[in-house]
Amino acid sequence: MSKKSPHARHFLETINSPEDLRRLKEDDLPALAQEIREFLIGSVSRTGGHLSAGLGTVELTIALHYVFNTPEDRLVWDVGHQTYPHKILTGRRERMGSLRQTGGISGFPRRDESEYDTFGVGHSSTSISAALGMAVAAARTGSERQVLAVIGDGALSGGQAFEALNNAGNMDANLLVVLNDNDMSISPNVGAMSQYLARILSGRVYSHMREGSKTVLSTIPPMWELAKRVEEHMKGMVMPSTLFEELGFNYFGPVDGHNLHALIRMLRNLRGLKGPRFLHVVTRKGKGYEPAEGDPIVYHGVTPFDPATGKMEKKPAGKTYTQVFGDWLCDMAARDVRLVGVTPAMREGSGLVQFSERFPTRYFDVGIAEQHALTFAGGLACDGMKPVVAIYSTFLQRGYDQLIHDICLQNLPVLLAIDRAGLVGADGATHAGSFDFSYLRCLPNMTVMAPADENECRQMLTTGFQLDGPAAVRYPRGAGPGVAVDPALQTLPIGKAEVRREGQRIALLAFGSMLAPALEAGAAFNATVVNMRFVKPLDEELVRELARTHELLITIEENVVAGGAGGAVNECLVMAAMPTRVVNLGLPDRFIEHGDHREQLAQCGLDAAGIRRTILRHVPAEPPAQRETA
């Protein structure tokens, strides 16, 4: 980071809203950009969070708020990793120290956090759809407000983005799509030429001439066709405009996303135009911070770090579930040549780096396209492959129809390795895997497993891979209880639970990550504790036996109660006509806000103390007479 002169003005501390920003002179904005970068690096170094993307959008964020009348003009961000500069400029600078913490501000845009957050995001490729809806609403109400969607080149690979582009061009909506392209670079010569062309193409004179020539030449069909083809051919030679023009957008750019004067000039020109417009902006992830520029993937999401060196705090010892999966995938691939790995743009997050390097021809990153990932895996399975789809629980929701229709209905042997199941701490509700038990166990042909520890995770992955039908292993974020992992590729008996503690009166039926707190709480009440292992097929024989020998069954899961694993136990007992008292513990019927994972569990009553409180509320004061056993 560069050091500021002791006599330099401090612009950032004077800005509490974009209105304050718009009072600055344009020549002052580069200095402001430097201040924002320094503030952002210092802030995220203390809290952790997303860094590289935000560093790359500092100038773009300044230019957008400087030119457009936000929040009256609607600015819709995609995903939200890049919105920390936006938060800083929209009145949340002093709250950045609470970022992603309990009671603090979110790491993503949220409508209830600021009027400048026009649409809540966290999942990719939604911005153009949302912005199009706002543009249509503006037209319906007679509003002259501008509507902008800012989308990254990665998010543009998502199918929903192209659906929205296709729809917007066809509707002739008054919409500006800004592509933040941070995966390509412009050499100085090409950059200067493309800025010059982009400036001309976005100018009002060119625009009026272009529209006027349409009117004149349209009366002479051969000339009109020739003019159209010449324009498209010339633009196609110097810029990647053809696709977006064919979709009905006027394409402008590429423009250097770190040149504030060029950006502002371009945006001012585009503000005066109507219809679907597409601006191509080229930025660099990690801009202005050498460690992040050198490795933007590592610095995409960071733990607290030393801003002087970039060195991050050490993570807790022990393997994470993600690492257990990555090791298993390589070991199983070495044994079975049919194994192929599929991920929707989550190589690092899902633990496929080692696999992609060792087995490059069997590794498929399909981009941010969850629907395609699942149907692609189904196609692989049809012709003899054994696909393993590595995906976050929250992203699997986006391919639910494909899971039903293209995998389960056809009973195809696709293994889902579902990471980030349950609550996810600082990433909050947008990334929590709160629903997968509920939406998976209702699917015919599906086997659903939840490991209680690292070794069981490896065993379940092996078990699911060996099945001749769809299977899912869902595991939480981070490290497990620290159980040693047996390198052998062992399987588990399908649908069989494991009694981990023999007790009396009370039986705690724990699914997956909830076994550890259940064992701690169970010891205080001499309760039976069961590691259920399988959500589907459920160990119904054991459930019925526990119902005959215990007064109270308590199911415990890190999933919503509605339709969850506890519901499977309830259904089993109803079908057996056994009027046993059952209490279902799980996530409540509300979205759980970001914060520390342990605090989130405590808030939901899913830690050992919460389970003990539940037992005390439901255990009768006096033991009833001994039941007759069936």
d(Cα 257, Cα 255) in Å, to the nearest integer?
6
Q: What is the DSSP string of 344-398?
A: SS-TTTTT-HHHHHH-GGGEEE--S-HHHHHHHHHHHHHTT-EEEEEEEHHHHGG
Spatial strand order of the sheet with 276-282 comes to 74-77, 147-152, 175-181, 276-282, 250-256
**Nearest Cα to Cα of residue 303 among 320, 288, 316:** 316
Exposed / middle / buried, residue 294 (Cβ in 10 Å: 0-12, 13-18, 19+) = exposed
Query: Strand runs (DSSP E) across 412-494, as ranges?
Result: 415-419, 447-449, 471-474
Distances in Å between the Cα of 304 and the Cα atoms of 84, 104, 175, 320, 601 are: 16, 16, 38, 19, 23
314 is catalytic: no
d(Cα 509, Cα 516) in Å, to the nearest integer?
12
Distances in Å between the Cα of 26 and the Cα atoms of 38, 180, 256 are: 20, 22, 17
Catalytic residue, from 37, 285, 477, 533: name it: 285
Report the relative pairing of strands 552-560 and 506-510 from DSSP bridges. parallel
Query: Strand runs (DSSP E) across 276-354, as ranges?
Result: 276-282, 301-302, 339-343
Spatial strand order of the sheet with 506-510 comes to 498-501, 528-531, 506-510, 552-560, 581-587
Catalytic residue, from 277, 398, 458, 477: name it: 398
Query: Strand runs (DSSP E) across 1-85, as ranges?
Result: 49-50, 74-77
Catalytic residue, from 35, 38, 59, 370: name it: 370
Residue 614, C-beta contacts closer than 8 angstroms, at least 6 positions apart: 554, 583, 585, 605
386 is catalytic: no
315 is catalytic: no
d(Cα 502, Cα 161) in Å, to the nearest integer?
54
d(Cα 300, Cα 297) in Å, to the nearest integer?
5
d(Cα 441, Cα 566) in Å, to the nearest integer?
11
Q: At what angle do helices 565-575 and 540-549 cross, to 10 degrees?
A: 70
| 613: its two tokens | 């409180």
**Nearest Cα to Cα of residue 456 among 510, 391, 524:** 510
Cβ atoms of 315 and 57 closer than 8 Å: no
User: How many Cβ atoms are within 10 Å of 221's Cβ, its own excluded?
Assistant: 9
SS3 399: helix
Residues with catalytic roles: 285, 370, 398
